[in-house]
Copies of this chain bind each other. A is one copy, B any other.
């Protein structure tokens, strides 16, 4: 089952969500207007054995469940408000293990300023342990940055280093909340689109393109994490770094220009030789 294909089918008819929904399904977070306040909302899942190894420490499992969802807040340049957490665990789950997962999740949610204010715990006879984290955030006064605003002529930028996240970064990363805010402050309305890299640089870059534009990456300029190559960096995924397009590069540390937004080509993402690289990456199910 293709995650994007299915989600698209489901939400195809959801364009008319009413006047209060300002960003609907398909972005890193949904946005809704309540009174005079804009609120961002998203949910993500962490399945033990899929998104983390079965023998990962419970502390790291709780941390990653929170960090994955808070990375979506960063991708919108938002500020965390609060979170909810669910667990569905096999009936023979050790109480101490569960407590350690939740204690770690709680501590990290508070550290990143989005305390857990509710949740639900269920048990299942079969199946792996799985967790969901819902996050609520508010956009800055400059507004949320969606995936949709790329313009021909923009530069394509990335934060941090990319590739080989599996070695350890996918467990230890810090959601780029503050860095995203710094970038938005530096760029203002010149910041046109943003996403966090979870499925892989090339595939997530394709989510910033549209009918009018493609992205051309200069793969030799990709800042590589130790153990990564330009080719693997395109597809590895789980970087949880920010990928964004803007009129001019921001004067902010830890940002690298890696490409440009070009008029729409046959492929959504191409490399410096014009080769289609848009299908690199994995479906993050």
Contacts and interface: CB of A to CB of B under 8 A. Distances in A.
A127 B25 CA distance: 27
B136 A32 contact: yes
A47 interface: yes
A178 interface: no
The count of identical subunits is 2
A167 interface: no
B88 A130 contact: yes
A84 B9 contact: no
A219 B199 CA distance: 56
Interface stretch (A115-123, A156-164, A169-177, A180-188): A115-123
A285 interface: yes
Interface string A4-29: 00110111011001101101110101
Most central of A18, A20, A41, A136 by chain B CB within 10 Å:
A41
A6 B285 contact: no
Given A41-B117, A88-B130, A93-B1, A47 B122 contact: yes
A39 interface: yes
A42 B103 CA distance: 19
A7 B36 CA distance: 34
Interface stretch (A94-102, A206-214, A270-278): A94-102
Contacts of A41: 82, 84, 117-118, 134, 136
Contact of A128 (B10, B127, B138): B127
Interface in A56-96: 81-82, 84-86, 88-89, 91, 93, 95
A47 B121 CA distance: 11
Nearest to A6: B121
Residue among A27, A45, A118, A285 with the highest chain B CB neighbour number at 10 A: A118
A227 interface: no
Given A1-B93, A128-B124, A45 B10 contact: no
Contacts of A102: 6, 10
A30 interface: yes
A76 to B, nearest CB: 11
Closest 7 CB pairs of A and B: A127-B127, A30-B117, A30-B118, A134-B134, A10-B102, A43-B84, A35-B37
6 contacts: A1-B98, A7-B119, A30-B82, A35-B37, A41-B117, A84-B134
